[in-house]
Copies of this chain bind each other. A is one copy, B any other.
Amino acid sequence: MKRVFGVDLGGTTIKFSIIDQAGNFIDRWAIPTNTENGGASIPGDIIESLKSKMATLFERGETIEAIGVGVPGPVNGDVVEVAVNLGWNNMPLGHLLQEGTGLPVTLLNDANAAALGEAWMGGDSAFRASTVVFVTLGTGVGGGVIVDGKVLNGQHGCAGEVGHMPVMAADTRQCGCGKTNCLECYCSATGFVKTANDLYEAAGDTRAYTEGKDVFDQVAAGDEIAIQARDITVDYLARGLAAIMSTVDPQEVIVGGGLSHAGDLLMGPLAEKLDEYVFPGTRGKYVLRRATLGNDAGALGAAFQAFQMLAAGAGEQMI
């Protein structure tokens, strides 16, 4: 069975894995991300780590066919346009890795990689969705869209940046992207906590939470203000997801990231609101579920895209 390298390039750690065509992790290891000098040494560090592994495998008569890399920024072909966390601008990562290892390379944005990984190996293994919307609710709100089993990359590598769609809100919140009142300002874990703390403050309650989990613990305990904050967050999220769904009409909508660990406390009301806001022609016909792969989603998606590249080169179809 064919095997590829799945690489998850993060701001603090570079996670490597060898993944087979059935989605099994054959091997995994990691090295720290060296962001000094504008991240200039990162491509060389990746090449060195991969070549060392390839040498070991060669001695055992084993081969790897390709490399898939998830990167923290928009991708255009084999170039990473920007990766703020790494200090990169227009880094020709695909070209460098291909030159350095002799293997074919495919790059994708990390949120898109996670989306593709979840579409491939997440959820009920009996069900493989080909058109998928994926959102992560963490420090920010990330996303990815899969159409006919392939990542929708967009014209500038920015497809799936759904965390930055504008929302109409009573208050004004500054987003890290430079705009105000992005979906991320209200539906990230950070945004949810702020909504709760603002409501407590308005009620003369001085408590101030820092973690989404703590607010969800209050929801579970029946705290009315926490429930109100949850409902406000769910309403914004359902509106945002309905807008995305009216555009791409997916088979499956997957919610990941820290807030998704709240489980039914989030997903129950979200399912209800979403079915209210979606286009009636699709109501009840899509699957809404939590992400199941956690941190493995990115490596799996990167690997899957590498398999797709190999299949396309051989004139085959993966999905």
Interface residues of A in 248-299 (CB under 8 A from B): 248-251, 276-277, 279-282, 285-286
Known A-B contacts A82-B281, A243-B244, A281-B82; the reply to A131 vs B147 at CB < 8 A is no
30 example contacts (A-B, Cβ-Cβ < 8 A) are as follows A74-B281, A131-B155, A145-B248, A147-B147, A152-B248, A154-B249, A154-B250, A155-B249, A156-B281, A156-B282, A156-B285, A158-B249, A159-B249, A160-B247, A160-B249, A161-B246, A163-B246, A164-B246, A164-B279, A165-B239, A165-B246, A165-B247, A166-B242, A166-B277, A168-B168, A168-B239, A177-B279, A179-B276, A179-B277, A247-B248
- Tell me if A140 is interfacial: C-beta within 8 Å of chain B: no
A166→B249 contact, CB < 8 A? no
CA distance A249 to B166 in the complex (A): 15
- Tell me if A167 is interfacial: C-beta within 8 Å of chain B: yes
- Tell me if A313 is interfacial: C-beta within 8 Å of chain B: no
Known A-B contacts A152-B147, A177-B280; the reply to A165 vs B248 at CB < 8 A is no
Q: Which residue of B lies closest to A239 (CB)?
A: B166
B244→A159 contact, CB < 8 A? no
Other-chain residue from B81, B157, B249 in contact with A161 (beta carbon distance below 8 A): B249
**A246 cross-chain contacts in B, Cβ below 8 A:** 158, 161-165
Interface residues of A in 133-165 (CB under 8 A from B): 143, 145, 147, 152-165
Q: How far is the CB of A68 from chain B (nearest CB, A)?
A: 20
**A162 cross-chain contacts in B, Cβ below 8 A:** 243, 246-247
Q: How far is the CB of A271 from chain B (nearest CB, A)?
A: 16
Interface residues of A in 42-69 (CB under 8 A from B): none
CA distance A149 to B211 in the complex (A): 44
